[in-house]
Amino acid sequence: MNGQMAIYPGSFDPMTNGHLDILRRGLAVFGHVRIAVAFNKNKPSGMFTPPERVDMLSDVTAEFAERVSVDSFHGLLVDYCRKLGAGTIIRGLRAVADFEYEFQMAMMNRHLAPDLETVFLMADEAHFYTSSGLVKEVVMLGGDVSGLVPAVVERELIAKASAS
Ligand code: ADP
C-alpha cells in the first residue's frame, strides 16, 4: 500500500456491494480513498439526491473512516482531482460491457490532464452483474435485492419504492 490518495468517482445512485468491493480493493493499494459522488447541478437526475447518496456512503464506510472520505462534486473530474492534489482515479470494471465506456472516459481524462492516472480494479465475480440501475429496477418491481446492496441502502431503496 502506498500513502497516496486516490479518488473513486461515480454516480453511486445508490451504492452497491460491487462499489464496496472496489473500495476495499482500492484500500489495499492506496492509503486514502475519497469517494466522490458526481452530479450535474443543471440537470439533476437519479433516484437519490447527492446528499442522500453521500449519507449512505458515509454510513456504510464508517468502519474505514480514517482512510475513506466521502464527498460530492459538480464539474470536471480532472478539476476536482487537481483541487485536491490527487494523482489517481479508481474505476471498477465488470464484464466486457464496461470496457468501452471506461476506456473512452479514461482517454478523455488523460487528454484533459496527462499527469492523472486512471487505475482499474475488478470486483469479485459475485458482483459482475450488480449495477445500481438494475438494483433500482428490481426494487421498484417489488423484487428482493438483499445481498446485492448494504442493508442501509436496501432500506432506503424500499422506502423510495413505497413512496412512489
Ligand atoms: P458512473 O455513472 O460514473 O458509471 P457508477 O456509480 O455506476 O457511476 O459506478 C462507479 C464506478 O464503479 C464505475 O467505474 C463502475 O464501473 C464501477 N462499478 C459499479 N458497479 C460495479 C460492480 N458491480 N463491480 C465492479 N465495478 C462496479
Taking the centre of ligand 1 as the mean of its atom positions, its distance from the CA of residue 91, in whole angstroms, is 7
Best residue among 22, 74, 108, 109 to mutate for probing ligand 1's pocket (most ligand atoms within 8 Å of CB) is 22
pLDDT given at position 142:
94
Q: What is the pLDDT of residues 30-55, one digit of tens each?
A: 999 999 999 998 888 999 999 999 99
Q: For the full predicted model, state whether its pTM sits above 0.85.
A: yes
The three-state secondary structure class of 4 is strand
Best residue among 72, 77, 94 to mutate for probing ligand 1's pocket (most ligand atoms within 8 Å of CB) is 94
Q: Under a CB-based contact definition with an 8 Å cutoff, are residues 149 and 21 in contact?
A: no
Tell me the CA distances in angstroms from 3 to 31, 33, 52, 155, one per residue in order. 4, 10, 29, 35
Q: What is the pLDDT of residues 136-158, one digit of tens each?
A: 999 999 999 999 999 999 999 99
Which cell numbers hold the place of 104? 473512452
CA–CA dist 150, 60 (Å, integer): 7
Taking the CA atoms of 84, 17, 61 and 12 in sequence, report the sign of the dihedral they define: positive
